[in-house]
Structure 1
Amino acid sequence: MSEPFDLLVIGGGINGAGIARDAAGRGLSVLLCEQGDLGSATSSASTKLIHGGLRYLEQYAFRLVREALAERERLLAIAPHIVWPLRFVLPRDTGLRPAWMLRVGLFLYDNLSALRTLPGSHAVRLSGTSLGAPLQARLTEGFAYSDCWVEDSRLVVLNAMDAGERGADIRTRTRAVSARREDGLWRASLSDGTEARARILVNASGPWVSETLSGTLSLNSRAAVRLVKGSHIVTRRLYAGDHAYILQQPDRRIVFAIPYERDFTLIGTTDVAHAGAPGPVEISEEETRYLLTCVNRAFAKRVEPGDMVWSYAGLRPLYDDAAANASAVTRDYVLDIDAPEGEAPVLSVFGGKLTTYRRLAEHVLERLGPHLPEHGPAWTGTAPLPGGDMPKGFSDFLAGFRSRYPFLPEATALRLARAYGTRAARFLDGAAALSDLGEDFGGGLARAEVDYLIAAEWARTPEDILWRRSKLGLHVPPETQARLAAHLGGQG
């Protein structure tokens, strides 16, 4: 059997991928196993925002908001291709939060972080303006503030890619069947038929965190996970402009309406307690009605079920803080470590969010420091993610990208620059025409890109490519899936 890994990470969502990247970059040996595709559960079912969490201020979660705002700036710097600024419009709705409360909240939001490159908040007039044009006439005033958009599932993949390039062993579609402590190490049986030994086990299995503890590891934990389902709908584009709306609701929740994939609007999210086992979930009719009711309270043109083109849902593995309402459960994370004297430690991650994954990974390495061999210092705060090495920013990179590949249609050039950044050159260089990229599967998806995703990004199924490595599933003709399946079936 090979030498033991320093870390065995169970779970290939954003937290697991981030921890693997951080550890590998410090010179530690890492094995990450993920039972499905990277980011195939919670991490690809988000609202796709990198944000401080404006509404968390009402819960006095100042530490979480401060940390998230600082991380927002760092992620914008290290991944400018998949993270970009987004302006939000918050209409003031009579009978809900008063104007003074919104002003105070936004003032805090603007000033809680010492790092800030995004524009601050300010009051805006809605009546008679382009910002108010899609809204009902009663919404005459509001506020504007800044946060960021992120391609969530790509954020996971890029962290895993960087981890792999720094020496980590990344195994997708590989489940940790069982693991036990033996001779001061963890000995794990994996579904690929192999065994692995590790000095430390990190349980970053998201919705399965408790199941992994009690089932795979046969351990108990003082911490518990609380599963909350969040669902989203996607409609045909509801309004012009690149701004998003944050809509207050009578139940004190907020719902976002966000420009999505050029032709659509993303609406979400819900917060519904999930009492069942972790696994795939779907939006319910009640959640669909709720989201449609939310947007129809604000938009002048009524949105009907027939306007929907897609929906998705995921389970948030929140730390159970015993809050009565699912919306009030903390979005902060808890790291629970079990390290009996003389035994191999296990650290379990409860909760967390996309925005703070990088800092969470640093905290994990800090907590595990006394149990690890000598390793390097924290480093991920300034190191670009794959494709994000753009010293002059994304706009300058995009201009050069279009000049370098003039044969690409404008929409395709933007999509590839956003998805891959500087890594796009790995499958585009040498091409002088679209035909040089091979078969077009539809929607501008060429064989060269597909083969790159197979070779470099662990893509194995049409769903991996059309819904996680991209959102081309919204744009391609129906036959694309079958053609992709045939191509993928012929690989290897």
Structure 2
Amino acid sequence: MCFPARPHRSGVPTLPSATPLPSQEPTYDLLIVGGGINGAGIARDAAGRGLSVLLVEQDDLASYTSSSSTKLIHGGLRYLEYYEFRLVREALIERERLLSMAPHIIWPLRFVLPQSQSPRPAWMVRLGLFLYDHIGGRKSLPGTETLNLDTAPQGRGLSPVSDTGAHKGKGKGKAFVYSDCWVEDSRLVVLNAMDAAARGARIETRTRLTGATSANGTWTAQIEGPDGAREVRAKMLVNAAGPWVDKVLQRLGRAKNDRGVRLVKGSHVVVPRLYEGDHAFMLQNPDRRIVFAIPYERDFTLIGTTDEPWTQEPGKAEISEAETAYLCETANRYFDRAITPADIAWSYAGIRPLYDDHAANASAVTRDYVLDFDRPESGAPMLSIFGGKITTFRKLAEHALEHIAHVFPQAKTAWTGGAVLPGGDIPNGDFARFVQDLTRRFPQMPGALLHRLARAYGTCAETILSGAQSPADLGEDFGGGLHAAEVDYLVAHEWARSAEDILYRRSKLGLHVPEGTAARLATYLSQDA
């Protein structure tokens, strides 16, 4: 499901969220607060069941937690250590389901788990991997294998280590290798919002909830966006505000003492590539915490994450000096090439809104989700989302709609399990063959450009390429392979409004474009604002 091509720059097309309101705005079935993965996923599921939906997001889609993940679709191997068997099983089932729904932005990734510095005995790790391979009904992904890192190509770039972790040349030891998947996290949010909008949902970014009251089974809410303030009505409010979920409850007078959110900061660094190969590493630290090293944007390695309690107000977060040192020390413990903070090309941090299960250790706080349904005798119903992880967003949305089915008996049944996301209808899910077909059809286009567009947009890349024979036909070149045709597409169909939206959320081209691109892009976007 994609979109018809539009002429390039005959005026920037109308933003999806700026489409005119009907003369009489309806009473929506659902007013969803929060444009992260949970809000977008619920909007998509609900719209597909025939419910009328309005989603409001105070900033851009995926501005906070949902664009700050480690970018994995995974079961969470380390959660087995905390006996989270149901969560891991559900996530593993979702892993392959999501892979088939969006093979352009989700793809398999092999993880190398060195044992030379493991604080866990090898038998325990192997038992956990056996469970990981079998409790989720794995079908297409390969299972676990054992490697000798002194002879296997996956050992190149790793330092020989002794039992104490000192670099004394005693060999690299063995490793287990298992499967999970990579995801372009912020694009996953946008694709859910696009699908929701295509099914009738109204998505409004840069629009915040300022207040709401309920009476006689209906919410009357005040929202404020780029065009000013207005009042909307809805039969139910869904609080998917992530780190702000408690704040929304307090604002609406629905806070509870027995339910809460625990904020944990996770930070990542991006450095020049540390090793060759398309595999990732799971690195075990002496404190038993896990750090991933993942191939990133061709030329880089992504290292993360940390788990630090966050006691400040929700909002934008930045990596601390202590976190930077921790991640650099972890990498230096394992890799030949030493890194320092001066090597960091980019860093990002996000606040995870975890359900507060009162665990003493931030790393041990459950990643499971809790759905809190509140329906007072005289007011309108409200559903609040606590916790969750990006891998289980679709199941969370499905559970949410089941949770409120009695409020909307007219809603259709579950449908998202086999429905592809926009651009995901690649024949047989064969991404390599799809890229070959694009290359054949657009022979004058650079191969690297076609591959990137295919990865970002799947079959929707054809909307951007429509009518173009060479890069010059795509309009102004902002550098790094970003052209006006792509920018116009992002404005028209993906709610992009700023250079940051485009360079760091709809893509990661900010790592590749020349200096000054953000300013040029901002000027371009302002021409028809």
Using structure 2 for the length normalisation, give the TM-score: 0.92
One-letter code aligned to 1:256 = F
Match in the other structure for 2:412: 376
One-letter code aligned to 1:140 = G
State whether residues 161 and 457 of structure 1, in contact with CA within 8 Å, keep that contact through their aligned partners in structure 2: yes
Q: Residue 441 of structure 1 aligns to a residue in which SS?
A: strand
Q: Residue 334 of structure 2 aligns to a residue in which SS?
A: coil
One-letter code aligned to 1:432 = Q
Q: 2: CA distance between counterparts of 1:111 and 1:128?
A: 28
> Any unmatched runs of 5+ in structure 1?
none
Deviation string, structure 1 residues 372-417 (Cα, Å, up to 9, x no partner): 1401111111110000001322122111111122222121111100
Residues 436, 95 of structure 1: alpha-carbon distance in 2 compared, 3 angstrom cutoff: closer
Residue of structure 2 aligned with 1:32, choices 55, 61, 74: 55
Deviation string, structure 1 residues 61-106 (Cα, Å, up to 9, x no partner): 0000000000001100000000000000000034611110011000
State whether residues 231 and 312 of structure 1, in contact with CA within 8 Å, keep that contact through their aligned partners in structure 2: yes
Farther off after superposition, 113-122 or 224-233: 113-122
State whether residues 118 and 285 of structure 2, in contact with CA within 8 Å, keep that contact through their aligned partners in structure 1: no
Match in the other structure for 1:228: 264
Q: 2: CA distance between counterparts of 1:125 and 1:94?
A: 14
Match in the other structure for 2:218: 185
Match in the other structure for 1:312: 348
TM-fit CA distance, 1:466: 0.1
Match in the other structure for 2:333: 297
Match in the other structure for 1:245: 281
Match in the other structure for 1:437: 474
Deviation string, structure 1 residues 407-454 (Cα, Å, up to 9, x no partner): 221211111000000011112111111111100011110000000100
2:160 paired with 1:137? yes
Q: Residue 297 of structure 1 aligns to a residue in which SS?
A: helix
TM-fit CA distance, 1:195: 1.1
TM-fit CA distance, 1:194: 1.5
State whether residues 75 and 83 of structure 1, in contact with CA within 8 Å, keep that contact through their aligned partners in structure 2: yes
2:510 paired with 1:477? no
Residue of structure 2 aligned with 1:420, choices 457, 466, 478: 457
TM-fit CA distance, 1:301: 2.0
Q: 2: CA distance between counterparts of 1:95 and 1:320?
A: 29
Match in the other structure for 1:166: 199
Match in the other structure for 1:23: 46
Match in the other structure for 2:441: 404
2:242 paired with 1:219? no
Q: 2: CA distance between counterparts of 1:450 and 1:416?
A: 12
Residue of structure 2 aligned with 1:457, choices 455, 480, 494: 494
State whether residues 64 and 351 of structure 2, in contact with CA within 8 Å, keep that contact through their aligned partners in structure 1: yes
Q: Residue 246 of structure 1 aligns to a residue in which SS?
A: strand
Q: 2: CA distance between counterparts of 1:171 and 1:178?
A: 16
Residue of structure 2 aligned with 1:206, choices 231, 239, 242: 242
One-letter code aligned to 1:178 = G
TM-fit CA distance, 1:115: 4.2
Q: 1: CA distance between counterparts of 2:262 and 2:181?
A: 27
Farther off after superposition, 404-413 or 332-341: 404-413
One-letter code aligned to 1:10 = V
Residue of structure 1 aligned with 2:104, choices 58, 68, 81: 81
Question: Equivalent residues in 2 for 1:31-180 (5 A)?
Answer: 31-94=54-117, 96-138=119-161, 139-180=172-213
Deviation string, structure 1 residues 141-166 (Cα, Å, up to 9, x no partner): 11000000000000000000000000
> Any unmatched runs of 5+ in structure 2?
1-23, 162-171
State whether residues 117 and 284 of structure 2, in contact with CA within 8 Å, keep that contact through their aligned partners in structure 1: no
TM-fit CA distance, 1:55: 0.1
Q: Residue 131 of structure 1 aligns to a residue in which SS?
A: helix
Deviation string, structure 1 residues 310-342 (Cα, Å, up to 9, x no partner): 000000000000000100000000111111235
Question: Equivalent residues in 2 for 1:280-291 (5 A)?
Answer: 280-291=316-327
Deviation string, structure 1 residues 31-74 (Cα, Å, up to 9, x no partner): 00000000000000000000000000000000000000000011
Q: 1: CA distance between counterparts of 2:119 and 2:142?
A: 26
State whether residues 93 and 248 of structure 1, in contact with CA within 8 Å, keep that contact through their aligned partners in structure 2: no
Q: Output the aligned Cα RMSD.
A: 1.0
Q: Residue 418 of structure 2 aligns to a residue in which SS?
A: coil
State whether residues 132 and 140 of structure 1, in contact with CA within 8 Å, keep that contact through their aligned partners in structure 2: no
TM-fit CA distance, 1:183: 2.4
Q: 2: CA distance between counterparts of 1:95 and 1:329?
A: 22
Q: 1: CA distance between counterparts of 2:510 and 2:477?
A: 14
TM-fit CA distance, 1:491: 1.9
State whether residues 215 and 378 of structure 2, in contact with CA within 8 Å, keep that contact through their aligned partners in structure 1: no
Match in the other structure for 1:263: 299
TM-fit CA distance, 1:30: 0.2
Residues 95, 389 of structure 1: alpha-carbon distance in 2 compared, 3 angstrom cutoff: closer
Match in the other structure for 2:14: none
Q: 2: CA distance between counterparts of 1:398 and 1:84?
A: 14
In the comparison of the two structures, how many residue pairs are matched? 491
Residues 95, 415 of structure 1: alpha-carbon distance in 2 compared, 3 angstrom cutoff: closer
Q: 1: CA distance between counterparts of 2:118 and 2:79?
A: 20
TM-fit CA distance, 1:302: 1.3
Structure 1 runs of 4+ off > 6 angstroms? none
Q: Residue 198 of structure 1 aligns to a residue in which SS?
A: strand
Q: 2: CA distance between counterparts of 1:46 and 1:309?
A: 17
Using structure 1 for the length normalisation, give the TM-score: 0.98
Q: 2: CA distance between counterparts of 1:91 and 1:44?
A: 28
One-letter code aligned to 2:489 = Y
Q: Residue 369 of structure 1 aligns to a residue in which SS?
A: coil
Q: Residue 170 of structure 1 aligns to a residue in which SS?
A: strand
One-letter code aligned to 1:453 = L
Farther off after superposition, 106-115 or 52-61: 106-115
One-letter code aligned to 2:516 = E
State whether residues 6 and 29 of structure 1, in contact with CA within 8 Å, keep that contact through their aligned partners in structure 2: yes
TM-fit CA distance, 1:456: 0.5
One-letter code aligned to 1:82 = I
One-letter code aligned to 2:503 = L
Q: 2: CA distance between counterparts of 1:293 and 1:427?
A: 43
One-letter code aligned to 2:83 = Y
TM-fit CA distance, 1:169: 0.4
